[in-house]
Amino acid sequence: MYHKKKNLLDLQRTRAGTYRDINSGIFLDRNERAVPYDNKINRLLSKYLEKINLNLYPEMDPFYIKLSNWLKVNKDEIYITEGVSGAIKGLIETLTLPGENNIVFPYPTFALYPVYCKMFDVKFKFINYKQNYALDFEQLIGAVDKNTSIVFLPNPNTPIEGTIGIDKIKTLANHCNKKNVMLVLDEVYYPFGDITGIELIKEFDNVLIMRSFSKAFGLAGIRLGYLIGNSENISYVSKTRTGYESNSVSMSIASFYIDRYDIVLDYVQQVKEGLEFLKHKLNAIEIEYNGGDSGNSIYLNLKDAFLAKNIVESLITKNIYVRGNWPAPFNRGFSVTGAPINIMETFYNEFQTILLEEKGKK
């Protein structure tokens, strides 16, 4: 007799889709690469992909070797996943006991953290941000108890960056280690910022790193990520992998851009310049903001949920998409994905016009 699990029956999910017109518009709502790769690069990539034998199953080892050489870690310290979301799912599936354990993470954050907790019947604890946008580190330390299995730390997070330095991460790692808790650093936005805990996997047996090719590489469409940790942890967590961790096309595309990492870093620099431009403009009109330092987005605090909602909706009519509808108190603003200066200027001009119109209605 089959059984439907109550926790899955209670879990509300909708299929991934889009509310955007992908044929036009400026997409600043999902922290994706806002500018497509140019035709010259696309032609080189197409030629590169011609060597793939689509009739054959993927050969995983070459990509593991490429990642190993690029990251300067051993091949057996890497586990290839379906984006960071696949890593989160695998960790919760393998490191928790249903109905017994809890997981700790900042909130708001990536939507799939609570989804996977509910999927595997694991409780979760939210860690808040202070009024100065700093992560409540004391609350984070205090939340780790005897039933905690994993602390997920997006560093930086979104919509609030809340980035913490290596010294605090080490303090947290030590604290978790004493309680036999795994500390997982979500570094999906590396290298927009320069803080990384990758060296900590040599010092702490309970530290893992998650990264993906979605943000800095601008390859959200290939759904590819990886987990880094000591070989024992990686071997254990990867036991629940499917027959092949990824596919030949995704791995080949990622390999192409690893070999051309300068292109990736060039776009990272363009985004940083665009965010600096936007921050300068926001300062001039006294709009409070957070971020744009170690991630690829910025949160604009309008201090008015109704105003924020109206501006987000008005921007959509201009084919400019930003991310609103954050949980309170962050529903009083919205987040904007960083992009090169020309795109940030277009966004700002439309935003300022709409803002003045909305204020004129009062």
60 and 157 together in one domain = yes
Q: What stretches in the chain show pLDDT beneath 50?
A: none
CATH classification at residue 323: 3.90.1150.10
**Domain contains 171:** yes
Letter for the amino acid at 197? G
Strands 78-81 and 225-228: antiparallel
Query: Which residue in 288, 306, 300 sits closest to 351, CA to CA?
Result: 300
Q: What is the pLDDT of residue 17?
A: 65
Residue 48 within a domain: no
* Helix, strand or coil, per DSSP, at residue 342: helix
Can you give the pLDDT at residue 18? 64
Domain presence at residue 41: no
> What was the pLDDT predicted at 22?
73
Question: Where do the H-state alpha helices sit in 243-291?
Answer: 248-258, 261-284
Range of the domain at 327: 6-36+262-360
CA distance 338 to 32: 9
Residue in the block written with tokens 């995704």? 250
Helical segments of 223-260, H only:
231-237, 248-258
Please list the alpha-helical segments (H only) found in 183-260.
200-203, 231-237, 248-258
pLDDT of residue 335: 98
Domain final residue, candidates 226, 258, 290: 258
Tell which of 202, 231, 258 closes a domain: 258
Same domain, 247 and 195: yes
Q: Do 221 and 126 reside in the same domain of the chain?
A: yes
Residue 45 lies in a domain: no
d(CA 337, CA 347): 10
Cα–Cα nearest to 40, from 48, 29, 31: 48
Is the Cα torsion angle 347, 262, 185, 92 positive or negative in sign? positive
d(CA 1, CA 210): 38
- Give the separation between CA 303 and CA 296, rounded to whole angstroms: 22
CA distance 206 to 193: 23
Q: What pLDDT, on a 0 to 100 scale, did the predictor assign at position 362? A: 64
The token duo for 229 is: 């940790």
Asked if residue 328 and residue 243 are part of one domain, the reply reads no
- DSSP letter for each residue of 134-149: -B-HHHHHHH--TTEE
Q: Is 332 among the domain residues?
A: yes
Asked if residue 224 and residue 87 are part of one domain, the reply reads: yes
Position 191: which residue type? P
Same domain, 161 and 73: yes
Residues 95 and 117 reside in one and the same domain: yes
CA distances from 347 to 242, 332, 334, 354 (A): 42, 19, 13, 11
351: CB partners within 8 A, 6+ apart? 311, 315
Cβ(31)–Cβ(215) below 8 Å: yes
**Does residue 307 share a domain with residue 212?**
no
φ/ψ (deg, to 5) at 81? -135, 170
Residues 119 and 186 in one domain: yes
Q: How many whole angstroms separate alpha carbon 210 and alpha carbon 116?
A: 16
Structure tokens at 337: 């994905």
Structure-block tokens of residue 362: 């009062």
Cis status, amide bond into 156, omega within 30 of 0: yes
